[in-house]
Amino acid sequence: MNKNKLTSQEENFSDWYNQVIQRAELADYAPVRGCMVVRPYGWAIWENIQSALDKRFKDTGHVNAAFPLFIPMSFLEKEKEHIEGFSPELAVVTIGGGEVLEEPLVVRPTSETIIGHMYAKWIKSYRDLPVLINQWANVVRWEMRTRLFLRTLEFYWQEGHTAHATAEEGQIETLKMLDVYTDFAVNVAAVPVIPGLKSQSEKFAGAVQSYTIEAMMGDTKALQSGTTHNLGQNFAKAFDIQYLDQNNELLYCWTTSWGLSTRFIGAVIMTHGDDQGLVLPPRLAPIQVVIVPIFRTDEEQSAVMETTKKVEQLLSGIRIKIDDRTEMTPGFKFNDWELRGVPLRIEIGPKDVEKNAVMISRRDIPGREGKSSISIDSLENRIPKILDEIHDNLLAKATKFRIDNTHDPKDYAELKGLINSGWAFSYWCGDANCEAKIKEDTKATIRCIPLDQGETNGKCIYCGNSAKEKAYFARAY
Amino acid sequence: MNKNKLTSQEENFSDWYNQVIQRAELADYAPVRGCMVVRPYGWAIWENIQSALDKRFKDTGHVNAAFPLFIPMSFLEKEKEHIEGFSPELAVVTIGGGEVLEEPLVVRPTSETIIGHMYAKWIKSYRDLPVLINQWANVVRWEMRTRLFLRTLEFYWQEGHTAHATAEEGQIETLKMLDVYTDFAVNVAAVPVIPGLKSQSEKFAGAVQSYTIEAMMGDTKALQSGTTHNLGQNFAKAFDIQYLDQNNELLYCWTTSWGLSTRFIGAVIMTHGDDQGLVLPPRLAPIQVVIVPIFRTDEEQSAVMETTKKVEQLLSGIRIKIDDRTEMTPGFKFNDWELRGVPLRIEIGPKDVEKNAVMISRRDIPGREGKSSISIDSLENRIPKILDEIHDNLLAKATKFRIDNTHDPKDYAELKGLINSGWAFSYWCGDANCEAKIKEDTKATIRCIPLDQGETNGKCIYCGNSAKEKAYFARAY
């Protein structure tokens, strides 16, 4: 595995990314073009993401359910913008049980339509509202240029779908879930995302407004890491989702949807990783602490292993792996676990045992600086704190990196000059034409328009007309 | 919801089953033929099944991963029995991104083939073995006659896939997972399954031997509730899953697979349910205890709600629902929660508050007998024990029902007479012809041949020839 050195990020960020995923055994290419196999170590990260998000969804009153994989083609056609947005990306089942189907079935690219159909059936009265349902599912979008985790034909996600009695409640839900995503990204994944509004040209097909959390990757490109959509009454009208209000009047519901996918694993890799490989934030790491026992003689082995067992017991609330493989050297193991991004390594050798101590190495602080000797008696207390410190440090580093690489260009020429190595935070007049021209010239898109900018005004970075808000412009994955 | 009385089991078991599922809001029919929507209450049962099984899988050394939904048609054709078994049931994607695909993609009916392909790539040496991977996934089989949970086009399951160095290890794994399923069924779901071997005609397409846990439903029909398969080297040879052993010799692996699906929810419904509706085993119930506060005046309300909150706090480790809906009568609520199978109901009225007590009603014991008054001071201690007692009682009742309806007919005529209302446990000579004739005459199949029958012999129930083991014969779902 360590035969060839990892390509450095500087040399080729994209190669670095692909190599890290393969060598750390996060994922592999499937025999079907554009599909991926998520390997156990990668899936364990996803399980930790799931459990952190699922808890937050349930705490905010949502429940899980499961809707079908197959959607009749006619359903997608009921919402005009929706079918326009998704029709180039559909996988279509035309044969079932050996027979050609009367109506082709689409493998869901997202589930607004089929869920809308069911909500129309279930919702009768204001008493049935709000409906707050999420599902954990696989979806398929026939992408042409694919990349492990970032863009694959099939991917895994959660999709929340809610129905409300009023426009206001729909908007509150849309922003509440944006907050949930932000909280998760920052406080669990240590990814300092910027929440904000999407421009109309970047919104979800069928939404009134889309919101996003945007993260800066290690190459300064942006990654849309989760989105929430206020769907207004678009899907309610297309699918007849209606309710009787207190006055017995029949009204259309207001719906929302929101999703976060395995793409987020790509965000974690590219936010924290370095030239040694993955760096996993402790709250998502499948292995939070790896223990490497070191010994030569049988006598040393027995003393070291005894201490190792003791340490394991002391740290019972932590996800631990003891690497007792006999055919590898400690040096090989150190590199291996660094590549795999384990936040903290504990080495236990005969001298440590004598001192009633262990040697720890932090993955987030390379070299001598991240190493220290800790008394075994203080481990139980110290290790959880050190894991929190690692989280805080990763978040601070990534935040500093984003700030350092976000600029406020004085004019469009300056924007064009910096956009290949950073983000621009600039006034925008709101005209889709300016947005399109900037994209044409620089490949940069509006990533988001941060909320609550207050009273502010300036001149549009492209056309110079009066502008009332600033937007982040960046090249993106 | 209670406008029309539920059809009784006696009257029409099948109607009873469909009505319970719809009225308890476990699942609904999807707009695609044969597909289901699992509603939040049904999905919460599945989540509890998942968590109980997943813990057992991890405790036995397995890890989770995710393999693609789409399988190239050519993969399925590599194992002859496998494609013969599955080809009538395939859903096929022929169009992707607007273009006709060169090779059609099958929506996985099961994943032995694509996982076999990946294992061939990952496994190099004996050091890589065993590989012990599970996935939680949706699969599609184009069934003609469908039934909610029992047989749907798309269903949800886990599928374990393991690779081993020796035949013996493969067999040990196959039986170990049968034990895991049995333990789960009995000790979590209170479903007294019989583990055993499938006959060759009933085995999985491509397996050497299949094992099953079989359960008796409330109408005495059998339900296959989980299966494990010893695949021998069939898939290893079809997909070149090979490893270098300690002597540097290249050998084929031995593989297994095992699965348990949302069908198991059907087993729970039909094992425990009664004419009032669902009866959920406490360890799987999304709501273990429902509290119904009862009051008329504002004064009563404030006292009752105070006690309700106190009770909720005392039972913090238990899944509780407080039904404080104001527009329904207590009687309506009682029926409603009985229909939904909540194991235990707590009523709190003004008189209970005065006595510092609550009234409890057990779902498993109808009428007065299941009711008692319990002092609030003893609740914290008593309620978990009562939930265990309910589990034990459900298991005992279902076991007695199975025993009472399992017969040992003295001859084939007697078997034919009893098989419409029970199981026959009879000697079988092992001849597929006898098995086929019995099926032709009675629709009964061999459900399983229990393991470890010891030294026994008798005469085949069909042909009268010498037989060394007994098998369960029954009509099945």
Note whether B37 contacts A118, CB cutoff 8 Å.
yes
Is the CB of residue B295 less than 8 Å from the CB of residue B304? yes
Question: What's the CATH superfamily of B289-379?
Answer: Anticodon-binding domain (3.40.50.800)
Note whether A65 contacts B43, CB cutoff 8 Å.
yes
**What burial class does residue B122 get, using C-beta atoms within 10 Å of its C-beta: 0-12 exposed, 13-18 middle, 19+ buried?**
middle
Is the CB of residue B389 less than 8 Å from the CB of residue B283? no
CATH of range A289-390; options 3.40.50.2000, 3.40.50.800, 3.10.520.10, 3.90.950.20: 3.40.50.800
> Could you tell me which of A53, A129, A63 has the C-alpha nearest to residue B43?
A63
SS3 B357: strand
> Could you tell me which of B310, B322, B323, B319 has the C-alpha nearest to residue B377?
B310
Domain range annotation of chain A: 13-67+124-272, 289-390, 406-474
- How confident is the model over A72-102, as pLDDT tens digits? 999 999 999 999 999 999 999 999 999 999 9
Note whether A127 contacts B327, CB cutoff 8 Å.
yes
pTM of the complete model beyond 0.95: yes
| Chain A residue with Cα closest to B155 | A68
> Could you tell me which of B458, B418, B408 has the C-alpha nearest to residue B442?
B418
d(CA A135, CA A157): 8
- How confident is the model over A40-77, as pLDDT tens digits? 999 999 999 999 999 999 999 999 999 999 999 999 99
One-letter identity of residue B253: C
Produce one character per residue of B368-387: b if its CB has 16 or more CB atoms within 10 Å, e if not: eeeeeebebeebeeebeebb
Three-state SS string across A269-328, please? HHHHCECCECCCCCCCCCCCEEEEECCCCHHHHHHHHHHHHHHHHHCCCCCEEECCCCCC
Q: What is the reported pLDDT for A202?
A: 95
CA max distance for chain B: 84
Is the CB of residue B447 less than 8 Å from the CB of residue B214? yes
To the nearest whole number, what is the mean pLDDT of chain A?
97
Q: Chain B closest CA to A27's CA: distance in Å?
A: 9
Q: What is the reported pLDDT for B1?
A: 44
- How confident is the model over A252-283, as pLDDT tens digits? 999 999 999 999 999 999 999 999 999 999 99
Q: What is the reported pLDDT for B4?
A: 72
Q: Which residues of A touch B137 (CB under 8 A)?
A: 138
A1, A43, A152, A332, best to mutate vs chain B, most B CBs in 10 Å: A43
Q: What residue has token string 């199949």?
A: B445
Q: Is residue B47 within a helix (H) or strand (E), and if so which, with residue range? A: helix B40-59
Q: Chain A closest CA to B132's CA: distance in Å?
A: 10
Is the CB of residue B18 less than 8 Å from the CB of residue B317? no
Q: Is residue B20 within a helix (H) or strand (E), and if so which, with residue range? A: helix B13-23
Q: How confident is the model at residue A3 (pLDDT cuts 50, 70, 90)?
A: low
Is the CB of residue A90 less than 8 Å from the CB of residue A107? yes
B25, B49, B67, best to mutate vs chain A, most A CBs in 10 Å: B67
> Domain B406-474: which CATH class?
alpha beta
> Could you tell me which of B271, B274, B149, B272 has the C-alpha nearest to residue B216?
B271
Omega within 30 of 0 (cis) for the link into A72:
no
- How confident is the model over B326-359, as pLDDT tens digits? 889 999 999 999 999 999 999 999 999 999 999 9
Of the candidates A63, A114, A127, which has its C-beta nearest B31's C-beta?
A: A114
Is the CB of residue A151 less than 8 Å from the CB of residue A270? no
For β-strands A344-348 and B250-252, DSSP reports them as unpaired
Q: Chain B closest CA to A195's CA: distance in Å?
A: 30
d(CA B26, CA A395): 42
> Could you tell me which of B265, B275, B267 has the C-alpha nearest to residue B363?
B275
> Could you tell me which of B216, B211, B217, B202 has the C-alpha nearest to residue B181?
B211
Architecture of domain B13-272 in this structure: 2-Layer Sandwich (3.30)
Note whether B40 contacts A65, CB cutoff 8 Å.
yes
Q: What residue has token string 């809001």?
A: B25
d(CA A163, CA B219): 40
> Could you tell me which of A70, A32, A99 has the C-alpha nearest to residue B71?
A32
Q: Does residue A397 have a pLDDT over 60?
A: yes
Architecture of domain A13-67+124-272 in this structure: 2-Layer Sandwich (3.30)
Say how many CB pairs under 8 Å bridge A and B: 165
SS3 B7: coil
Three-state SS string across chain A, please? CCCCCCCCCCCCHHHHHHHHHHHCCCEEECCCCCCEEECHHHHHHHHHHHHHHHHHHHHCCCEECECCCEEEHHHHCCCHHHHHHHHHHCEEEEEECCEEEEEEEEECCCCHHHHHHHHHHHCCEHHHCCEEEEEEEEEECCCCCCECCCECCEEEEEEEEEEECCHHHHHHHHHHHHHHHHHHHHHCCCCCCEEEECCHHHCCCCCCEEEEEEEECCCCCEEEEEEEEECCCHHHHHHCCEEECCCCCEEECEEEEEEEECHHHHHHHHHHCECCECCCCCCCCCCCEEEEECCCCHHHHHHHHHHHHHHHHHCCCCCEEECCCCCCCHHHHHHHHHHCCCCEEEEECHHHHHCCEEEEEECCCCCHHHEEEEEHHHHHHHHHHHHHHHHHHHHHHHHHHHHHCEECCCCHHHHHHHCCCCEEEEEECCCHHHHHHHHHHHCCEEEEEECCCCCCCEECCCCCCEECEEEEEECEC
One-letter identity of residue B415: L
CA max distance for chain A: 84
Q: How far is CA A29 from CA A3, A164, A223, B240, in A?
A: 21, 41, 22, 18
Low-confidence ranges of chain B (pLDDT < 70): 1-3
B36, B90, B107, best to mutate vs chain A, most A CBs in 10 Å: B107
ipTM of this model?
Answer: 0.96
> Could you tell me which of A112, A228, A231 has the C-alpha nearest to residue A177?
A228
Note whether A95 contacts B90, CB cutoff 8 Å.
yes
Q: How far is CA A253 from CA A170, A227, A442, B59, in A?
A: 9, 21, 41, 46
A38, A93, A133, best to mutate vs chain B, most B CBs in 10 Å: A93
| CA–centroid distance for B46 within its chain | 9
Within B188-277, where are the H helices?
234-239, 263-272
Note whether A37 contacts B107, CB cutoff 8 Å.
no
Q: Is the dihedral of CA B466, B468, B474, B477 positive or negative?
A: negative
Q: What is the reported pLDDT for A4?
A: 72
Note whether A92 contacts B94, CB cutoff 8 Å.
yes
